[in-house]
């Protein structure tokens, strides 16, 4: 019956191939889209990393001559934009894509084609921004784009910035809507909210932050665009424009953005640590509510980025207090992780090392963050390398360590083979040492008064030694990722089969084959407990020790019994061309704003035709 797929005719016929490049271009499978997100983000990570190395090479010695001032401005701006919008966010979204349906027992996300649209818009948005290098110069006003500098910089760089981030925002917004609905509405029977893995919870908070933060930056970016291209006055002080408006709108987005980047990593760590401590997460409800609290409080702290802007003592005090308060739920999480490790039967694996590295580095970054909440202190630190040290400790020491922990942890699930533990641990130690060499000295440099964003510094300031160490650390980090790439290539050749559940995991994704079949679950699981898969594998002895239950035992529901012949009746959403077609409209409109107004119409037409095709193509249900 359902296996016999009727041939579909007409211009809106949907592609059907399951292999080859076309099947990737037209895919709507959340697992393939997740892989594409992560691969693309990793490619951008290499580019952003090379930019960082150029910056560090320039600053290795006083009066460096590796980069000109103009090139330096472009590289530090693009490094920030790349790492935030094209690396950390999409890597988090990639893991969400792959894992959320598996973790909640769903066969796909709520809107598979919208999901593909998000990916293509993200990719094209990233390429759009990078194309500025070949079209007259990249953005050079910092990732924060402070007006009126950003409205007055010559060239098209900051116009590319305003439009490129706008395009990426569309991808984020579509993704946010998709995942909110997926998590709220697509859970397997019995998967109540308080049984969801912590990663899913943190993803839910993240997507709500995206939903409400993206429109704010969208307005700010539109205003910047109108100022630059159409002679509006939003940020023109001579016409009464208020530069503080930009700062408020930007940081009203920008601070939730910080949590958008860190919460997925916190979720990853909250799932990795219990697996390798062989204990449930300590204080599940506390860690979940702490995440929700961060989500709410993250909206009330933005002006701590503006303590030096002269908002006045009342505003400064209020935001200082709210900033101190938000450290509380964050601290709760840290105690949750430590409590999870306490008394656990710990196995020191690569993902475990990265997860513990996350906790340790995030504590340092969190503490320097709390020091910024003290206004007089912050006014000393603003625009120095102390700030650079702080946000690299939370975004590299935090987010990137967490994401890499996730890569090592779920790699066997995604590709079916294990990564080398020896090379993985080498990767960890190189990255850990290199990271601290690169960024710990920046605390000292900042306290010594070295300003951010300057392309060079004179001799005799006492900054030479630590800058050299920092540059050395940067190259050690680069080496650690060479080890990672070697690890991937060698492990891929060796193909050490992982099996379904190599880490003795706790959550639903480990109950299905590696790599998972297209339909994920041959039979939609019925969830009976938090850490459901663990409880299907183990029961507790009277002494409180876990004892293995064999298939068909007390709680075993024989999940694999009929794997071979299962799955034939499951119809998955068909691939589609239209998400890709529609996504091309946006960058074309962007080029139109910068170069040739006619292109705006062309892009809008492509977008509209893509959406019409999207709506009119036969849906999976109608085909039967």
Partner 1 sequence: MSAQEAAAHAPAEHQTSTGLDNVKLAMWAFLGSECLFFGSLISTYLLYRNRVLDGPRPHEIYDIPYTSVSSFVLLMSSVTMVLALAAIQRGDHRGLRIWLLATAMLGTVFIGGQVYEFTAFVEEGLKLSTSTFGSAFFVMTGFHGAHVTVGIFMLLSLVGMSMFGRLSDADGPRKVELIGLYWHFVDIVWIVIFTVVYLIPTN
Site residues for partner 1 per CB under 8 A: 1-2, 110-111, 173, 176-178, 180-181, 184-187, 191, 211-216, 218-220, 222-223, 226-227, 230-234, 236, 239-242, 245, 249, 523-524, 569-571, 608, 612, 615-616, 621, 624
Q: Is the Cβ of residue 1 or residue 4 nearer to partner 1 in the bound state? A: 1
Is there a contact between 221 and 169 (Cβ–Cβ < 8 Å)?
yes
As measured in angstroms, the least distance from the Cβ of 2 to partner 1 is: 6
As measured in angstroms, the least distance from the Cβ of 104 to partner 1 is: 9
For residue 377, give every residue at least 6 positions away whose Cβ sits within 8 Å of its Cβ, in sequence order, or none: 371
As measured in angstroms, the least distance from the Cβ of 204 to partner 1 is: 12
Q: Is the Cβ of residue 211 or residue 318 nearer to partner 1 in the bound state? A: 211
CA neighbor of 329 nearest in space, from 301, 356, 293: 293
User: What is d(CA 119, CA 36) in angstroms, rounded to the nearest whole number?
Assistant: 8
Place of tokens 């007089």: 376
Phi/psi zone of residue 145: left (φ > 0), alpha (ψ -120 to 50 degrees), beta? left
Q: Is the Cβ of residue 185 or residue 317 nearer to partner 1 in the bound state? A: 185
As measured in angstroms, the least distance from the Cβ of 178 to partner 1 is: 8
Phi/psi zone of residue 175: left (φ > 0), alpha (ψ -120 to 50 degrees), beta? alpha
Q: Is the Cβ of residue 51 or residue 257 nearer to partner 1 in the bound state? A: 257
User: What is d(CA 224, CA 150) in angstroms, rounded to the nearest whole number?
Assistant: 8
Is there a contact between 116 and 617 (Cβ–Cβ < 8 Å)?
no
As measured in angstroms, the least distance from the Cβ of 325 to partner 1 is: 23
Tokens of 5: 């797929």
HSE (side-chain half, CA atoms, 13 Å) at 329:
20
Q: Is the Cβ of residue 241 or residue 505 nearer to partner 1 in the bound state? A: 241
As measured in angstroms, the least distance from the Cβ of 229 to partner 1 is: 11
Residue 8 burial (10 A CB sphere; 0-12, 13-18, 19+): middle
Q: Is the Cβ of residue 120 or residue 179 nearer to partner 1 in the bound state? A: 179
In whole angstroms, what separates CA 456 from the centre of its chain? 31
As measured in angstroms, the least distance from the Cβ of 500 to partner 1 is: 21
Q: Is the Cβ of residue 190 or residue 499 nearer to partner 1 in the bound state? A: 190
As measured in angstroms, the least distance from the Cβ of 493 to partner 1 is: 38
Phi then psi for residue 607, to 5 deg, are -60, -45
Place of tokens 């818009």: 121
As measured in angstroms, the least distance from the Cβ of 600 to partner 1 is: 12
Place of tokens 């475990």: 352
User: What is d(CA 269, CA 408) in angstroms, rounded to the nearest whole number?
Assistant: 12
In this structure, the number of other CB atoms found within 10 A of the CB of residue 63 comes to 8
User: What is d(CA 241, CA 225) in angstroms, rounded to the nearest whole number?
Assistant: 14
Q: Is the Cβ of residue 214 or residue 581 nearer to partner 1 in the bound state? A: 214
As measured in angstroms, the least distance from the Cβ of 191 to partner 1 is: 7
DSSP per residue over 327-360, as a string?
Answer: HHHHHHHHHHHHHHHTT------HHHHHHHHHHH
User: What is d(CA 172, CA 178) in angstroms, rounded to the nearest whole number?
Assistant: 10
Place of tokens 């050490």: 496
Coil, strand or helix at 451: strand
As measured in angstroms, the least distance from the Cβ of 101 to partner 1 is: 13
Is there a contact between 257 and 394 (Cβ–Cβ < 8 Å)?
no
User: What is d(CA 292, CA 201) in angstroms, rounded to the nearest whole number?
Assistant: 9
Coil, strand or helix at 623: coil
As measured in angstroms, the least distance from the Cβ of 211 to partner 1 is: 5
Q: Is the Cβ of residue 158 or residue 221 nearer to partner 1 in the bound state? A: 221
Q: Is the Cβ of residue 245 or residue 334 nearer to partner 1 in the bound state? A: 245
As measured in angstroms, the least distance from the Cβ of 126 to partner 1 is: 22
User: What is d(CA 465, CA 37) in angstroms, rounded to the nearest whole number?
Assistant: 39
CA neighbor of 500 nearest in space, from 485, 488, 510: 510
Tokens of 221: 């970016």
Residues in the chain: 624
Quickly count helices (H) and strands (E) in the chain.
Answer: 20, 2
As measured in angstroms, the least distance from the Cβ of 13 to partner 1 is: 17
Phi then psi for residue 417, to 5 deg, are -130, 160
**Torsion angle defined by CA atoms of residues 227, 231, 235 and 239, in that order, rounded to the nearest 10 degrees:** -170
């Amino acid at each position: 019956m359902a296996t016999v797929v009727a041939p579909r005719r007409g211009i809106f016929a949907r592609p059907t191939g399951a292999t080859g490049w076309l099947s990737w271009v037209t895919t709507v499978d959340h697992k393939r889209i997740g892989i594409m997100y992560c691969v693309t983000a990793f490619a951008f990570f290499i580019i952003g990393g090379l930019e960082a190395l150029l910056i560090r090479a320039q600053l290795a010695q006083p009066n460096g001559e590796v980069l000109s001032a103009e090139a330096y401005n472009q590289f530090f701006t693009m490094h920030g934009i790349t790492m935030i919008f094209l690396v950390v966010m999409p890597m988090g979204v990639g893991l969400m894509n792959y894992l959320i349906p598996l973790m909640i027992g769903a066969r796909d996300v709520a809107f598979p084609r919208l999901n593909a649209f998000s990916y293509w818009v993200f990719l094209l948005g990233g390429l759009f921004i990078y194309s500025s290098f070949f079209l007259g110069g990249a953005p050079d006003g910092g990732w924060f784009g402070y007006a009126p500098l950003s409205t007055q910089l010559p060239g098209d760089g900051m116009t590319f910035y305003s439009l490129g981030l706008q395009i990426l925002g569309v991808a984020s917004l579509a993704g946010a809507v998709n995942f909110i609905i997926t998590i709220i509405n697509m859970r397997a029977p019995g998967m109540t909210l308080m049984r969801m893995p912590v990663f899913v919870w943190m993803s839910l908070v993240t997507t709500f932050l995206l939903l409400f933060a993206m429109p704010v930056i969208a307005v700010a970016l539109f205003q910047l665009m109108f100022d630059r291209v159409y002679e509006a006055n939003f940020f023109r002080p001579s016409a009464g424009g208020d530069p503080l408006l930009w700062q408020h709108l930007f940081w009203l987005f920008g601070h939730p953005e910080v949590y958008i980047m860190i919460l997925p990593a916190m979720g990853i760590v909250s799932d990795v640590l219990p697996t390798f401590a062989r204990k449930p997460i300590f204080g599940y409800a506390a860690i979940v509510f702490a995440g929700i609290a961060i989500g709410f409080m993250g909206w009330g702290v933005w002006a701590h980025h503006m303590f030096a802007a002269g908002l006045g003592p009342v505003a400064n005090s209020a935001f200082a207090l709210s900033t101190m308060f938000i450290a509380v739920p964050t601290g709760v999480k840290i105690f949750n992780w430590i409590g999870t490790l306490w008394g656990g039967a710990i196995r020191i694996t690569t993902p475990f090392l990265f997860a513990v590295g996350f906790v340790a580095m995030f504590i340092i970054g969190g503490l320097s963050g709390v020091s910024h909440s003290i206004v007089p202190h912050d006014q000393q630190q603003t625009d120095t390398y102390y700030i650079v040290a702080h946000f690299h400790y939370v975004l590299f020491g935090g987010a990137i360590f967490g994401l890499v922990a996730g890569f090592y942890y779920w790699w066997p699930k995604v590709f079916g083979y294990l990564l080398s533990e020896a090379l993985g641990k080498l990767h960890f130690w190189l990255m850990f040492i290199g990271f601290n060499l690169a960024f710990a000295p920046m605390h000292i440099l900042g306290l010594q008064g070295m300003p951010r964003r300057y392309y060079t510094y004179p001799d005799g300031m006492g900054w030479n030694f630590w800058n050299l160490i920092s540059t050395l650390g940067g190259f050690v980090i680069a080496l650690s990722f060479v080890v990672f790439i070697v690890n991937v290539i060698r492990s891929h050749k060796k193909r050490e089969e992982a099996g379904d559940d190599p880490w003795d995991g706790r959550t639903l994704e480990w109950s299905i084959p590696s790599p998972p079949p297209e339909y994920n679950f041959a039979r939609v699981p019925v969830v009976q407990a938090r850490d459901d898969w663990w409880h299907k594998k183990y029961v507790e002895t009277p002494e409180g020790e876990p004892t293995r239950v064999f298939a068909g035992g007390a709680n075993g529901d024989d999940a694999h019994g009929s794997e071979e012949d299962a799955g034939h009746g499951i119809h998955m959403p068909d691939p589609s061309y239209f998400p890709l077609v529609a996504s091309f409209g946006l960058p074309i409109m962007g080029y139109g704003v910068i170069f040739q107004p006619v292109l705006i119409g062309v892009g809008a037409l492509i977008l509209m035709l893509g959406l019409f095709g999207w709506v009119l193509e036969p849906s999976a249900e109608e085909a039967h």
